[in-house]
Amino acid sequence: MASIRYNLTKFMFKHLVRPMMKKAAKDPERFMEQQRKKRESKPLPLGKLHKRYEFKEEEACGTPYYIISGAADTGNAGSASTETDAAERGKGKERRLVLYFFGGGFVMPGNEGDFKFAGEISDRTGADVWLVWHKLLPDVDGKGLLESVLCVYREALKRYEAKNITLFGLSSGGSLCLDLCVYISENSPDTPLPGRLVPVSATIRMPATEEQCTEMKKIENRDAMFTAGYVKAAVKMMLLCGADGLLGNSAGHSWKGFPKIMAFYGTDEIYYAQLDEFKKKCEKDGVELQTFIGEGMMHTWLAAGWLPEAEEARNALYKYISRN
């Protein structure tokens, strides 16, 4: 049985987030413009964040990224870093790194919750975490967005071995883990791929197949955020921004040579309808896949650290990142 906190969170999302996604489905072009104006009027409050979290500001090719070393507030969950973890951070290129990609459909930026989650990942795994504040649509096209992320990844390769780098992402950020590997494989084959990918609630096929659309319609009444109509609108957004085929459509490309993957999905999110293709794609292209399925869980539920249901998923995540 779901916890009271989970039920309240799902209720809140259904009445606050889902209506916004329905508006996006009706007029995706207007939705993107609204999000762009919102970003301009409300930039990331770095001064406020520096008071709450320990991080360094850096950039690569004009793309900011924030090096997270754990939350300054000792009351935050996951603050139990060990001496072993601390020592692990200081082994030169043998250190582990997590590149963290926020969610938001490629049009909405991350928020303070991403800093908090990144800090917990760092605390619990002993890995360095770079929170990548990549460029967004429609400010850039699909290639521009991928290039902004690739610049940060190349910077990471100067300091870490590729095998010790994990790409982690929520929602569209999860899709970006896969999209970036496709982009590197097709456009920069001499660039080594990372050691592992951890996509959470990722989209891998845009537009969705007819079979997936049918399944999404069955799930949408349980989904607290998205409707099947939004999935179609997201395709239009990609077309409008010159991102079709580049973002959220990695299954349309080869995954051969990809690193091992741990994928997270909730059964009460419409993107769960793409899990079957995810599994078949990995099997076909010879990619090692581990899955974590949240029964009755909503989209990116493990990002909500206040939920008891998130604990098991987060522990699995930390264990996977820490594994040699």
Query: Rounded to whole angstroms, how far apart are CA atoms 177 and 47?
Result: 29
Average pLDDT, the chain: 93
Among 64-78, 156-170, 215-229, which is the least confidently predicted range? 64-78
In a domain, 306, yes or no: yes
The sheet with strand 53-60 has its strands ordered as 53-60, 63-71, 128-132, 97-101, 165-170, 196-200, 260-266, 289-294
Which residue did the predictor score with more confidence, 72 or 293? Answer: 293
Give the per-residue pLDDT at 84: 38
Total tally of structural domains belonging to the chain: 1
In a domain, 200, yes or no: yes
The token duo for 38 is: 């919102």
* pTM of the model as a whole: 0.93
Q: Using 50, 70 and 90 to split pLDDT, how confident is the model at 69?
A: confident
In a domain, 45, yes or no: no
In a domain, 269, yes or no: yes
Which residues span the domain enclosing 83? 4-38+63-322
pLDDT digits (tens, 9 = 90+) for 94-138: 899 999 999 999 999 999 999 999 999 999 999 999 999 999 999
Examine the pLDDT at 182 and tell me if it is beyond 60. yes
In a domain, 56, yes or no: no
In a domain, 55, yes or no: no
In a domain, 18, yes or no: yes
- Is residue 98 a contact partner of residue 89, using CB atoms and an 8 Å limit? no
Q: Tell me if residue 229 falls in helix, strand or coil.
A: helix
Looking up residue 121, the CATH number of its domain turns out to be 3.40.50.1820
pLDDT digits (tens, 9 = 90+) for 199-244: 999 999 999 999 999 999 999 999 999 999 999 999 999 999 999 9
Q: Using 50, 70 and 90 to split pLDDT, how confident is the model at 92?
A: low
In a domain, 27, yes or no: yes
Q: Using 50, 70 and 90 to split pLDDT, how confident is the model at 324?
A: confident
